[in-house]
Amino acid sequence: HSGFVAIVGRPNVGKSTLINRILGQKISITSNKPQTTRHRILGVDTDGDCQAVYVDTPGMHIEEPRAINRVMNQTASSALKDVDLVLFVVDSLKWLEDDKMVLEKVQRSKVPVVLLVNKVDQVKNKEKLLPHLQWLSTQHDFAEILPISATHGDNLDELRKIVRGHL
Ligand code: GDP
Ligand code: MG
pLDDT of residue 35: 47
As a whole number, mean pLDDT of residues 125-154 equals 95
Is pLDDT above 60 for 125?
yes
Inter-residue contact 160 to 2 (CB < 8 Å): no
Cα distances (angstroms) measured from residue 163 to each of 2, 6, 8, 11: 10, 11, 15, 22
Using the mean position of ligand 2's atoms as its centre, give its distance from the Cα of residue 15 in Å: 5
84-121 exposure pattern, b = at least 16 Cβ within 10 A, e = fewer: bbbbbbbbbeeeeebbebbbebbeebebbbbbbbbbbe
pLDDT of residue 87: 96
pTM to 2 decimals? 0.87
Q: pLDDT over 90 for what percent of the chain? A: 55
Q: How far is CA 162 from the centre of its chain?
A: 13
Using the mean position of ligand 2's atoms as its centre, give its distance from the Cα of residue 38 in Å: 18
Nearest-atom number in ligand 1 for the CA of 154 is 23
As a whole number, mean pLDDT of residues 93-105 equals 92
Instruction: Detail the residues annotated as belonging to a binding site for GTP.
Output: 9-16, 56-60, 118-121
> Which ranges constitute the DSSP H helices of 82-129?
97-107
Nearest-atom number in ligand 1 for the CA of 152 is 23
As a whole number, mean pLDDT of residues 84-91 equals 96
Using the mean position of ligand 2's atoms as its centre, give its distance from the Cα of residue 20 in Å: 10
Residue 110 or residue 69, greater confidence: 110
Query: pLDDT for 45-85, tens place per residue?
Result: 888 888 998 987 765 654 444 555 555 555 555 567 789 99
